[in-house]
Amino acid sequence: MQASVGDKLLVHGRTVGHHDRTAEVLQVLGENGTPPYRVKFDDDGHEALMSPGPDTVVRHHPEAGAR
């Protein structure tokens, strides 16, 4: 998994009743975009250090010049 600052992580709920969550990548602590990441969750503003598992998808931030 590779992400950059500004990308969104979509974390799928792992059990019935748990909803999907999204988090913005604030800081990349691994080499070449690899985890761990410092993230801020969109639903409650909680910040956490995260090493995403297979239930997480990266939604890359669009390039500034691409329109």
- CA-wise closest residue to 38 among 22, 53, 49: 49
pLDDT digits (tens, 9 = 90+) for 25-64: 999 999 999 999 999 999 999 999 999 999 899 999 876 4
**What are 6's two structure tokens?**
């500004």
pTM recorded for the entire structure: 0.84
Full 3-state SS string of the chain: CCCCCCCEEEECCCCCCCCCEEEEEEEECCHHHCCCEEEEECCCCCEEEECCCCCEEEECCCCCCCC
pLDDT band at 2 (very low <50, low <70, confident <90, very high): very high
**Cα–Cα distance between 65 and 67 in angstroms, integer?**
6
pLDDT band at 13 (very low <50, low <70, confident <90, very high): confident
